[in-house]
Structure 1
Amino acid sequence: MNHTLSTRTEGSLHEPLRPVRIANCSGFYGDTLAAARNMVEGGPIDVLTGDYLAELTIFILYRARRKDPAAGYAKTFLTQVEDVLGTCLDRGVRIVANAGGLAPATLAEEIGKLAANLDLSPKIAYVDGDDIVDRLGEMRSAGEEFRHLDTGRPLSDRTDSPVTANAYLGGWGITQALRAGADVVVTGRVADAALVSGPAAWWHGWAHDDFDRLAGAIAAGHVIECGPQACGGNYPFLDEITDRRYPGFPLAEIAADGSSVITKHPGTGGIVSTGTVTAQLLYEIGDPAYAGPDAVSHFDTLELTQQAPNRVEISGVRGSAPPDRLKVAMNFLGGYRNTMTFVITGLDIEEKARWARQQMFELLGGEERFDEVDVQLLRFDHADADRNAEATAHLRVTVKGSNERVVGREFSGVATAMAVGGYAGLHTTTPPTPASVFGVYWPTLLQRDLVDHRVTFLDGKCHLVPNPPAGGSDSGGRASIDLPEPPDGPTRRVPLGTVVGARSGDKGGNANVGLWTRDEVSYSWLRSWLDVERFRELVPEAAGLEVRRYELPNLRALNFVIVGLLGDGVAASTRPDPQAKGLGEYVRSRYAEIPESLLDTGPDRHRPGTPTRPDIVGP
């Protein structure tokens, strides 16, 4: 084995190093298995990372562990490790992933067994301490109220207990493991960007208070954490994606000053542009002061520069001290849920829908038998359709309750039994389905000193990870941007997406929609035109909900957070799009009066790489 980087120990002196090349091979649990091999073999890298945990994933892993006490981690990660471990050891490539989920120690042991079967001897470490579910009693006795971040309700308002509770750890445990010579580091719940900032701090020998450098690495980590999304995946401006192959996975070249270049391996699909990087920077954020366990990264200070084809530099990121409290994600068992969808065809759509609802719950003994009933009529139909399917609407009925039998086959069986006694043409999209368990998400905060952040090696050596200096954040010093006056003159009613891009997602029970433009004039108009009330008009679902609006002029972007749109989190949401993935595209589809001067469709106005600021150089 060639451990060429193992001399990077704490306190060592060395010459300034080249940028560290940190590659991503997973954006979620279930991502492309071949990505690990492709990233290792596709070009030179120093660290292979993968993000396997979303807020929903922890609940999924809990359910897996209920069936099998030896489960609780991302099992697909083992397949990827088997593919690349030997090559990584030969090349000195470190492997860092949060695939440990609820069982990082178990995963580390399984990797050890796998390595032994391959006749390999890597040094394996795991990072834990994030799982605090068994310590909640003592923490509450010490005065922690675990108030819900959005509602302010204390945990004591609930009569049940959470089944999972995980604090978001930072990257210093990863750094410490790598400094001690680890070849493979698996973690439980760490902040997604810590998978990048931790290795960057190890490589460059950063200190705990190097907040600007850490903030730069956090920004890069946020960009690459979701895999192909940084390389054109889910990108709204289709005209810019000239390579329509499945996008490659991204990597970040992070320099000693914290600046980075986002790129991908040669010959892979998609594109890395200021647009794709902007989209990912806006994904699932709130305040531009992006707070993490190790630093606050001020996204409204960074600058993007297209250095070359598929190479985007992120520079100028300002950082400040992190909060003195860690975010904690809790999950409760919410009960059981089930959904049946009726297809309604042709005429009298609304009357048929009312009749179906009335008939269904008469047969079930009333809606009061369920804790919650959600009925949505989804209209896809249009008059005199050329095809049968184009004349149909869906009546989507979701029920929740504590009785698995009633919510399960009793509910779905009645839907099927209505087939010959209901409205004309009644049929459903699925056969009768059993009930499924759903979780209720509870985001909260915890004093960081109460969490034991640990690094443990398979040989038994265990190290506590000290906390970085904390205590809040300043403004970071927003980047100075000179914007032109908003255009006036005649307007045309067209879809907002004609001039505006969007990326949306979930943060617990909240949804975010990041909107940006491709030039300053369009942004000047968007910024002056789109206030909170007009956003509510675009998204009627936001009526009655708190909407937070943030400006990021350096990205020509606005970010909106709709508090509570997803209810008690993704696992409990009854929306057809529970993670709000399509919400941004819905906003782009809404019509608006847009100045005609912004609607120039000339061949070079928004050609990929066309400079729209003096500091951007196109391919």
Structure 2
Amino acid sequence: MRIGNCSGFYGDRHAAMREMVTGGELDYLTGDYLAELTMLILARDRAKSPERGYAKTFLTQLEESLGTALDTGTKIVANAGGLNPAGLAAAVRALAERLGLEVAVAHVEGDDLVARRAEFGFADDVLAANAYLGAWGIVECLAGGADVVVTGRVTDASVIVGPAAAHFGWTRTDYDALAGAVAAGHVIECGTQATGGNFAFFGDVPDLVHPGFPIAEIDADGSSVITKHPGTGGLVSVDTVTAQLLYEIGGERYANPDVTLRLDSLRLSQDGPDRVRIAGARGEEPPPTLKVSLNAVGGFRNAMTFVLTGLDVEAKADLVQRQLEAGLAVRPAELEWTLARTDHPDADTEEAASALLRCVVRDTDPKVVGRQFSSSAVELALASYPGFTTTAPPGDGQVYGVFTAGYVDATAVPHVAVHADGTRTSIPSASPTKVLEPVAPAPMPPSPAPGPTRRAPLGDVAGARSGDKGGGANVGVWVRNPEQWSWLAHTLTVDALRELLPETKNLPVTRYLLPNLRAVNFVIEGILGKGVAHQARFDPQAKGLGEWLRSRHVDLPEDFQS
């Protein structure tokens, strides 16, 4: 059975749904619209109006594609319901009526725990508290004849696992098959990241102007082939699939509400042009708890960026820092300075001769980080360092969010399939379950033979993919052959990572080996502060962290080719 994906986030390519339903055969089309930051956006949207709280772009996409999907028998499953899946289901029915289409729309609910904050010990200021549900509510909706299923917060892979389980009639203890579907779902749920987007070796991609969205051809045993529609841009290769498997993961166990996938069991092989087979998936019982996404407003944030040009950059930075702090009537609760030495000596353009000094302030009082802060910066314009200028005019402070992860007993969370006719089916929590435990470290490959080396970027031979994990981040690094794997496993240790990425020096870092993927994965705790919306660093989602690592110079064996 063929499952396509048309969305990796709220705001992804609008035309993707239409391209997928018209580009070739599909049994199911899925979309992932939710992320940690998205849940906060939708929570603020819902606070303005109870009828809101879902991904509105899903409806405009569906307006172009629903008729074609019904004609071709393609069922649609998406988590675009966000904080209001019932509202989105009603809106889809209204859209279908306006278009003159008969469609059975079902939805899944139960993930929203915000009204039970006190019961679970969540903070009173939490705007959104959503448990990550699994796939079996989707299965029930599809078994009931739904053409369109919308959900709230289910795991990203669940929108793929649900159709696969419904199609093949898997039971809840078919762990290996379910794990294989989780692997396929993890690869395609971020859309074109599986077909050459955000890819370390993007020069290998023949046509990245308009990459096609991915498809998983899933077999009855859970193994799959990742591909895309014929004639579309991009690339599906072992490397592009490896990169996405390493995205936003932790250790060898990848826990989902229905099964725990052993990432160290997966084997990849090229199965033809733009076709990669994922086989060997092993599954274990899921954990007894569900992760909960908790989003709150942390306060207000503002920033000013000063341009420092030419000579004496550090002295200029010191001067304006002392001046601004002395001129603040009230010191914000948080005040951070970052100097980016983007300047070059004897530069042939003014921009290349300039560094950027950034001041970020946060406080619960919008006035403290609003005009009081901005005006203090502007007042220095004729009284500070030579060449004083900023990258943008002053402005008011903006709300920022705080993300935390909670965990609750899965049996305490309702999981309900609401069918097209309004009947409701309760979905029992998983049983049996198994508490996650550390995996015994994988055996190290043989030590590499000593030999001559050259100083060069790590990225000459290694790919990387990084991303946010709450307040932490992961960086997965992989290589392409056994010789490089032996070198990588012995060379890129936690201590080496701290040396290459000094920002990680005082943070907890854990390394995991994935020999089947010739990859190491690092989980770096605390590097993103209190989550993406907190914007603790200039790359708040850690998307470029892996590319920074690849750019650092190491001693590469001379016989390793770029």
In the other structure, the counterpart of 1:211 is 175
1:179 aligns with 2:137: no
Say yes or no: does 1:332 pair with 2:289. Answer: no
1:29 partner SS:
coil
Aligned equivalents of 1:293, 1:120: Cα separation in 2: 35
> In the alignment, which of 461, 468, 472 is matched to residue 510 of structure 1?
472
Q: Residue 581 and residue 174 in structure 1: after superposition, are their counterparts in 2 closer, same or farther (change >3 A)? A: same
Matched, 1:48 2:44: no
Residue 6 of structure 2 corresponds to residue 25 of structure 1: yes
Aligned to 2:306: 342
Distance apart, 1:70 and its partner CA: 2.0
Q: Do 2:530 and 2:536's aligned partners in 1 also have CA atoms closer than 8 Å?
A: no
Note the C-alpha offset of 1:243.
2.2
1:472 aligns with 434
CA distance in 2, matches of 1:390, 1:59: 38
**Secondary structure in structure 2 of the residue aligned to 1:597:** coil
Partner letter of residue 3 of structure 2?
I
Residue 267 of structure 1 deviates from its aligned partner by 1.0
User: Distance in 2 between the 1:194 and 1:116 partners?
Assistant: 28
CA contact (8 A) 1:487 1:595 kept: no
Partner SS, residue 267 of structure 1: coil
Q: Structure 1 length normalisation: TM-score?
A: 0.88
1:524 alignment counterpart: 486
Post-superposition CA distance 1:129-162 (Å, at most 9, x none): 001011122344xxxxxxxxxxxxxx5xx6x431
Deviation of 1:416 (Å): 2.5
Is the 1:514–1:557 contact (alpha carbons within 8 Å) kept by the matching residues of 2? yes
Cα offset for 1:478? 9.6
Asked if the contact 1:246–1:270 (Cα under 8 Å) also holds between the matched residues in 2, the reply is: yes
Q: 1:561 to 1:476 in 2, by over 3 A?
A: closer
Aligned partners of 2:325, 2:179: CA distance in 1, in Å?
54
**Is the CA contact (8 Å cut-off) linking 2:447 and 2:490 kept in structure 1?**
no
Matched position secondary structure for 2:3: strand
Question: In structure 2, what is the Cα distance between the partners aligned to 1:376 and 1:477?
Answer: 39
SS of the aligned residue for 1:71 comes to coil
How far, CA to CA, are the matches of 1:566 and 1:477 in structure 2? Answer: 26
User: Which string of whole-angstrom CA distances, capped at 9 and with x for unpartnered residues, describes residues 219-238 of structure 1?
Assistant: 00000011000000011113
Match of 2:117 in 1: 136
Q: Give the C-alpha shift of residue 445 in structure 1.
A: 0.8
Question: Is 2:183 the counterpart of 1:202?
Answer: no
Tell me how far 1:479 sits from its aligned partner: 13
Provide closer, same or farther for how the CA distance between residues 133 and 202 of structure 1 changes in structure 2, counting only shifts above 3 A. Answer: same
CA distance 1:241–1:481, change in 2 (3 Å): farther
User: Which range moved further: 541-550 or 460-469?
Assistant: 460-469
Matched, 1:444 2:406: yes
- Match in the other structure for 2:70: 89
Is 1:262 matched up with 2:226?
A: yes
Instruction: Say whether 1:289 aligns with 2:223.
Output: no
* One-letter amino acid matched to 2:531: G
* Residue in structure 2 matched with residue 371 of structure 1 by the alignment: 333
- Does the 8 A contact of 1:496 with 1:589 survive in 2? yes
Structure 1 residue corresponding to 2:270, chosen from 290, 306, 313: 306
| Residue number among 46, 55, 58 corresponding to 1:65 in the alignment | 46
Name 1:147's counterpart in structure 2. none
Counterpart of 1:190 in 2: which secondary structure? coil
Specify whether residues 480 and 450 from structure 1 end up closer, same or farther in structure 2 by C-alpha distance, changes over 3 A only: closer
- What is the CA–CA distance in structure 2 between the aligned matches of 1:198 and 1:410, rounded to whole Å? 52
Per-residue deviation, 1:371:
1.1
Equivalent residue of 2:385, what SS? coil
Decide whether the 8 Å contact of 2:445 with 2:489 is kept in 1.
Answer: no
Q: Which of 411, 431, 435 in structure 1 is aligned with 2:373?
A: 411
C-alpha distance in 2, partners of 1:199/1:293? 16
Conserved? CA contact 1:49–1:196, under 8 Å:
yes
Q: CA deviation at 1:167?
A: 0.4
Partner of 1:8: none
Contact persistence 1:178–1:199 (CA under 8 A): yes
Change (3 A) 1:476 1:562: closer
Residues in 2 aligned to 1:482 and 1:580: alpha-carbon distance in whole angstroms: 28
Shift of residue 476 of structure 1?
12
Distance 1:474 1:458, change over 3 A: closer
Q: What secondary structure sits across from 1:418 in the alignment?
A: coil
CA contact (8 A) 2:111 2:413 kept: yes
1:169 and 2:150 matched:
no
Whole-angstrom CA distance in 2 between matches of 1:478 and 1:277: 25
Stretches of structure 2 that go unaligned for 5 or more consecutive residues are none
Provide, for residues 254-301 of structure 1, a one-character-per-residue CA deviation record: whole Å limited to 9, x for no partner: 000000000001111110000000000000000121000000011110
Distance 2:223 2:509 in 1: 32
Contact 1:170 1:191 in 2 (8 A): yes
| 1:382 pairs with 2:344 | yes
The amino acid of 1:545's aligned partner reads: L
Alpha-carbon distance between aligned partners in 2 of 1:59 and 1:319, rounded to the nearest angstrom: 32
Q: Which amino acid aligns with 1:72?
A: G
What residue in structure 1 maps to residue 553 of structure 2? 591
SS at match of 2:26: coil
- The superposition leaves residues 439-470 of structure 1 with CA deviations (integer Å, 9 ceiling, x where unpaired) of 11111210000000011135321111122223
CA distance, structure 1, for counterparts of residue 543 and residue 202 of structure 2 = 17
Say which is worse superposed, 62-71 or 128-137, in terms of deviation: 62-71
Aligned-CA RMSD value: 1.8
**Structure 1 residue 21 displacement after superposition:** 0.6
In 2, are the aligned partners of 1:327 and 1:444 still within 8 Å (CA)? yes
Aligned partner of 1:604 in structure 2 is none
Aligned partners of 2:426, 2:291: CA distance in 1, in Å?
Answer: 20
Q: CA deviation at 1:475?
A: 8.5
- How far apart are 1:482 and its partner, in Å? 9.7
In structure 1, the partner of 2:528 is 566
Q: Distance in 2 between matches of 1:539 and 1:477?
A: 26
Paired residue secondary structure (1:375): strand
Q: CA deviation at 1:487?
A: 3.1
Structure 1 residues 484-493 or 341-350, which shifts more?
484-493
- Which residue number corresponds to residue 242 of structure 1? 206
CA contact (8 A) 1:25 1:227 kept: yes
**Counterpart in 2 of 1:15?**
none
Q: Deviations over 1:71-94 (max 9, x none)?
A: 211111101111111111111111
Report how many aligned residue pairs link the two structures. 562
Q: Which amino acid aligns with 1:187?
A: T
**CA deviation after TM superposition for structure 1 residue 530, in Å:** 1.4
> What is the TM-score with the length of structure 2 in the denominator?
0.97
Contact kept, 8 Å, 2:441 with 2:513, in 1: the verdict is no
Secondary structure of 1:80 counterpart = helix
- 1:110-133 Cα shifts (integer Å, max 9, x gaps): 111111100112111111100101
Aligned counterpart, 1:356 = 320
8 A contact 1:129–1:453 mirrored in 2: yes
Match of 1:3 in 2: none
Note if contact 2:146-2:420 (Cα within 8 Å) is conserved in structure 1: no
Instruction: Judge conservation of contact 2:237–2:275 (CA < 8 Å) in 1.
Output: yes
- Larger deviation, residues 21-30 vs 406-415: 406-415
Q: Tell which deviates more after alignment, 465-474 or 356-365.
A: 465-474
- The answer to whether the 8 Å contact 2:144/2:419 transfers is no
Counterpart of 2:103 in structure 1 is 122
Distance (whole Å) between structure 2 residues aligned to residue 208 and residue 522 of structure 1: 40
What letter matches 1:45 in structure 2?
L
The structure-2 alpha-carbon separation of the partners of 1:46 and 1:476, relative to structure 1 and needing over 3 Å to count, comes to farther
Partner of 1:556: 518
Contact 2:197 2:208 in 1 (8 A): no
The answer to whether structure 1 residue 224 and structure 2 residue 205 are counterparts is no
> Is residue 483–residue 521 contact of structure 1 (8 Å, CA) maintained in 2?
no
Shift of 1:424: 1.2
